[in-house]
């Protein structure tokens, strides 16, 4: 008898490759039992800071069948964003994921193409696409689907390509063949913990989000806390330190997504240029970028904090 599940799984994975995803792994849509106590403890310790949206939809975050009715499978996908060129040395730093066009748009487009492909090739399949969306624990799903392990810095990483990629999901009502979790290769390494400028990695595998530079520079709407002055290591939007020091990231290869190529100014601007940036330049340089999330006033606030 023809194994439809295997055929469909193969079809979806090869189309994901064709669309430019780095890899694709699939899990059964079910309650994330191992994650539940971890998430609860993390929230109880207020490690989400002012990111109160993380407290919402607790049950839905752990159970995709509550999020998408009738769902059977979580299809996790990775999209590489590692740039071929970095910012000039004498610059305030932007997280590498924010160099090019806003990943939400780029990935949503690819996810929709994948969903349409599934519907065209397989038939009536219902589902929803998620990119960095609060109700889905994307790292946990990607790990469960065998795409990598969650490192001591709490990012997903792989032996083949490190950790500089986006994670996205399709949650669909089609049964597929499921992948298995991989092994952890952090071993005795503690490089990310030792290098974190704000000591936000409080113990292996636990990041206190409320102490993380990414949180301060992007999520926090209030004034930046003075006790962290001088500790931001020149990061003005996001922070890549724990990933940059990770030995597995020496295997990162540049992406081939033209939409992730930066505006030339992003690479060339010096600290002085950033300090003098006008709202018009900000709008031009970051017209299509995720940096718009901080608005001009947010980026200015961050730069002032670094400068003072
Ligand atoms: S992103 Fe930066 S501040 Fe946050 S945990 Fe990693 S090294 Fe620490
Ligand atoms: S730096 Fe070391 S401990 Fe941290 S994630 Fe990478 S391998 Fe794991």
Q: Is 13 in the pocket of ligand 2 (CB under 6 A)?
A: no
Confidence of residue 47 (pLDDT cuts 50, 70, 90): confident
What's the DSSP call for residue 22? S
What percent of the chain is modeled with pLDDT above 70? 99
Identify the pLDDT of residue 214. 96
Structure-model confidence comparison of residues 278 and 44, the more confident one: 278
What's the pLDDT at 86?
96
**Quick check: 3 pLDDT over 80?**
no
Q: What ranges do the domains of the chain cover? A: 4-84+98-172, 191-254+261-307
Active site residue 132: yes
Residue 105, pLDDT > 70, answer yes
Helices 4-18 and 103-122: angle between axes, nearest 10 degrees:
140
Tens of pLDDT, residue by residue over 211-241, are: 999 999 999 999 999 999 999 999 999 999 9
pLDDT number for residue 134: 67
Task: Tell me what the mean pLDDT of segment 165-172 comes to.
Answer: 96
304 alpha carbon – ligand 2 mean position (Å)? 32
Task: Label residues 231-270 b or e (16+ Cβ within 10 Å = b).
Answer: ebeebbbbbbbbbbbbebbeebeebebeebbbbeebbebe
For a substitution probing ligand 2, which of 162, 163, 188, 189 has the most ligand atoms within 8 Å of its CB?
189
Is 239 close to ligand 1, i.e. is its CB under 6 Å away?
A: yes
* Domain 4-84+98-172 part of CATH 3.40.109: yes
Better-scored residue on pLDDT, 24 or 222: 24
Q: Which of 47, 155, 200 to mutate to test the pocket of ligand 1 (most atoms within 8 A of CB)?
A: 200
The answer to whether the CB of 60 falls within 8 A of the CB of 135 is: yes
Rounded-to-integer distance, Cα 162 and Cα 247, Å? 8
Distance CA 152, CA 186 (A): 7
Average pLDDT over residues 71-100: 97
Q: Is the pLDDT confidence value at 164 over 60?
A: yes
CA distances, 48 to each of 42, 204, 216, 293 (Å):
7, 17, 11, 18
Mean pLDDT lowest among 20-29, 126-135, 214-223: 126-135
- 169 phi and psi angles, rounded to 5 deg: -140, 150
CA dist., res. 119 & res. 128, Å (int): 12
Residue 241 Cβ < 6 Å to ligand 1 = yes
Which residue has the least CA distance to atom 6 on ligand 2? Answer: 246
What's the 18 CA to ligand 1 centre distance in angstroms? Answer: 33
Residue 278 pLDDT > 60, yes or no? yes
Active-site choice (63, 90, 102, 132): 132
Mean pLDDT of 191-207: 97
Gap from CA of 274 to ligand 1 centroid (Å): 22
To test the ligand 2 pocket, which listed residue (139, 149, 153) has its Cβ within 8 A of the most ligand atoms? Answer: 153
Lowest mean pLDDT among 34-43, 79-88, 116-125, 188-197: 34-43
**Residue 1 confidence (pLDDT):** 46
Q: Where residue 118 falls among pLDDT bands split at 50, 70, 90?
A: very high
Q: Determine the pLDDT at residue 184.
A: 97
Task: Check pocket membership of 151 for ligand 2, CB cut-off 6 A.
Answer: yes
């Amino acid at each position: 008898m023809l194994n439809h599940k295997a055929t469909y799984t193969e079809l979806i994975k090869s189309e994901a490759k064709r669309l430019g995803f780095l890899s694709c792994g699939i899990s059964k849509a079910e309650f994330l039992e191992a994650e539940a106590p971890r998430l609860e403890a993390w929230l109880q310790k207020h490690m989400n800071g002012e990111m109160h949206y993380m407290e919402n939809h607790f049950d839905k975050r752990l159970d995709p069948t509550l999020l998408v009715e009738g769902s059977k499978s979580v299809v996790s996908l990775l999209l590489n964003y590692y740039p071929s060129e970095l910012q000039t040395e004498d610059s305030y730093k932007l997280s590498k994921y924010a160099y090019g066009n806003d990943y939400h748009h780029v990935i949503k487009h690819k996810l929709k193409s994948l969903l349409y492909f599934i519907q065209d090739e397989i038939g009536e399949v219902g589902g929803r696409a998620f990119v960095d969306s609060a109700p889905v624990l994307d790292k946990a799903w990607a790990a469960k689907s065998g795409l990598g392990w969650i490192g001591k810095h709490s990012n997903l990483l792989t032996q083949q390509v490190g950790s500089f990629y986006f994670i996205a999901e399709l949650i669909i009502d089609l049964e597929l063949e499921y992948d298995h979790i991989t092994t952890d290769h952090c071993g005795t390494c503690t490089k990310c913990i030792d290098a974190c400028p704000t000591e936000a990695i409080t113990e292996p595998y636990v990041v206190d989000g409320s102490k993380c530079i990414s949180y301060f520079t992007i999520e926090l709407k209030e004034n930046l806390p003075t006790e962290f002055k001088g500790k931001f290591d020149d990061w003005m939007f996001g922070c890549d330190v724990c990933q940059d020091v990770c030995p597995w990231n020496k295997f990162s290869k540049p992406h081939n997504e033209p939409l992730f190529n930066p505006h030339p100014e992003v690479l060339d601007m010096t600290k002085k240029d950033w300090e003098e940036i006008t709202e018009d330049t900000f709008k031009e340089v970051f017209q299509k970028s995720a940096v718009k999330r901080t608005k001009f006033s947010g980026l200015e606030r961050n730069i002032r904090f670094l400068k003072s």
